[in-house]
Amino acid sequence: MNIDRITEMEGRLERLKVAVEQLNSALDAFAEAKEDYAVLDTYLGSAGWHHDRADDEAGLLPANLKRGVLSEDAIWNALEDYRELEARLKGE
């Protein structure tokens, strides 16, 4: 019946519109993260990173300070995730 088909198509249209809107927002956020990627890529292994890590190991940083960036794996994994997603978006 036409009503069933129209109702189904209306649902599909709404889901498509929501998915496109969400992906657009996510792509905007991903594009904005490019600078974060570049800065973190430069920071990892730099003299500043080594100094910050040494200060942490010496107990010079506040106990409540988030310090995920001082874990080599945390930054490396985030950078690798970014690179993989960028390649996926390019169709590689």
Residue ranges per domain, the chain? 2-90
10-residue averages of pLDDT along the chain (92 residues): 94 98 96 96 96 97 96 95 94 85
Phi first, then psi, for residue 61 (nearest 5°) are -100, 150
Distance CA 83, CA 27 (A): 14
C-beta atoms surrounding 2 within 10 Å: 6
Answering whether pTM is above 0.85, one says no
Query: Where would I find the H helices in 1-92?
Result: 2-43, 47-57, 72-90
Distance CA 81, CA 78 (A): 5
Distance CA 75, CA 4 (A): 51
Q: What is the DSSP letter of 2?
A: H
Distance CA 92, CA 86 (A): 9
| Digit-coded pLDDT (tens) for 12-25 | 999 999 999 999 99
